[in-house]
Amino acid sequence: KPTVAIVGRPNVGKSTIFNRIVGERISIVEDVPGVTRDRIYSSGEWLNQYFNIIDTGGIEISDAPFMTQIREQAEIAIDEADVIIFMTNGREGLTSADEEVAKILYRSKKPVVVAVNKVDNPDMRDTLYDFYALGFGEPIPISGSHGLGLGDLLDFVIENFPKDEEEDYDEDIIKFSLIGRPNVGKSSLVNALLGEERVIVSDVAGTTRDAIDTPYSYDGKDYVIIDTAGMRKKGKVYETTEKYSVLRALRAIERSDVVLVVINGEEGIIEQDKKIAGYAHEAGRAIVIVVNKWDAVEKDEKTMKEFEQKIRDHFLFLDYAPIVFLSAKTKKRVHTLIPKIEIASENHSMRVITTVLNDVIMDAVAMNPTPTDKGQRLKIYYATQVAVKPPTFVIFVNDPELLHFSYKRFLENRIRDAFGFEGTPIKLIARPRK
């Protein structure tokens, strides 16, 4: 999917436009209590073209002076986006901060469209002319509060998406990424996997994200490692901000089949780990949990079991993810990782036989009767698998409202028990039978 970024100085209305473009999509969070996406990254659609969208204004670079903030945000847009929406404010007119942003955007080869916000009435159209001076062609008047002009803006955006799909890996090549807090050892683990083959990527501004896709072979099979750690640009202020790391992680997750959630075994689990893992789960990717730095942990025969239990307690929603303990440093057990990735990936695209699925559901219902609500009992007519990556099932029922969370969870678990979906989330959707 192509990516669109919104940049501009504060208070021009970036997040209003972001929310308008994203629409209701943002609140769609599959049954993961407490896990929501940051409101800086989401997806949108226009004329049947789907894209990711980033509100760079939401990436606060704490402590940095005002000008540095907007400059860094513009850099992020250049790094991440295929098309950039440069927002300005028609009421306030052109400001020096706008010109500052423009100067940075000139350096990118990316298509830029200037959106002049808060142009709510025709008299204000004259103010548009000033914005031609930014040098990005015809400015588009919009009104975030009234939702005017968005169509024109999005027309420009989708017309300027890269024409050829940049990704043409074979279907059977598994793409996996490593996510986790800084210093958990992602980079070291990539090194451990690659050994001597490690490709050093240059720090040139505008290095495309494809440059960090590293091909990798194991046991005669090809993989692609989506390596976020290798992309670090030394000296950029925004590299250290949490939201930017999250953004990076989300972009990598989006493009992966399997996500390795890397945890530092020496430090244990902290809240941020949970959040990062939540993104991968929510995105419906296959997941393997990696506990790194296991060499540095003082252990007895119980330590691993205890740590595993801790992970299970913290990541209740990841009960399906296998856990691998290893050391990137000593390379101990690094070889056990790829087989787990294989299993997770295989299950991620598993299709089950419909009759067997229906038998499983019927057995489940016989064992644990469906719930009733206001005198009505949930009736399940038929189940079928509608998608893979992740496996997604639709069950046709009399009334979807009657499928309460706990019963849904029960059915999901029965499906898991029957088919063994280790390493992958599954989705269950109830639909009314027509």
Q: Where does this chain touch ligand GDP (CB under 6 A) — which range of 165-173, 184-192, 199-207, 236-244? A: 184-192
Residue closer to ligand GDP by CB (options 164, 298) is 298
Residues of this chain, 206-265, that bind ligand GDP according to CB under 6 A: 229
Where do the DSSP E strands lie in 241-317? 258-264, 286-292
* Centroid of chain to Cα 118: 31
Q: What is the DSSP string of 327-351?
A: -TTT-TTGGGHHHHHHHHHHHHT--
Question: N- to C-terminal Cα distance for the chain?
Answer: 34
Using the rule CB under 6 A, is 179 a contact of ligand GDP? Answer: no
User: What token pair was written down for 167?
Assistant: 């990704």
Residue closer to ligand GDP by CB (options 116, 334) is 334
CA angle 267, 269, 275 (to 5 degrees): 135
CB of 333 to ligand GDP, least distance (A): 10
Question: If DSSP codes are grouped into helix, strand and coil, which group holds residue 219?
Answer: coil
CB of 227 to ligand GDP, least distance (A): 9
Q: Where does this chain touch ligand GDP (CB under 6 A) — which range of 15-23, 108-116, 177-185, 388-396? A: 177-185
Q: How far apart are CA 320 and CA 415, in angstroms?
A: 12
Q: How far apart are CA 251 and CA 329, in angstroms?
A: 27
Of 71, 118, 186, 340, the one binding ligand GDP by CB under 6 A = 186
CB of 187 to ligand GDP, least distance (A): 3
Q: How far apart, in Å, are the Cα atoms of 39 and each of 27, 53, 55, 212, 228?
A: 10, 10, 8, 26, 21
Residue closer to ligand GDP by CB (options 329, 427) is 329
Residue closer to ligand GDP by CB (options 180, 391) is 180
Query: Per-residue x/- mask for ligand GDP, residues 294 to 313, rule CB under 6 A?
Result: -xx-----------------
Question: How many residues form the binding site for ligand GDP (CB under 6 A)?
Answer: 16
Residues of this chain, 326-355, that bind ligand GDP according to CB under 6 A: 327-329
Q: How far apart are CA 148 and CA 299, in angstroms?
A: 62
Applying CB under 6 A, which residues contact ligand GDP? 180, 182-188, 229, 292-293, 295-296, 327-329
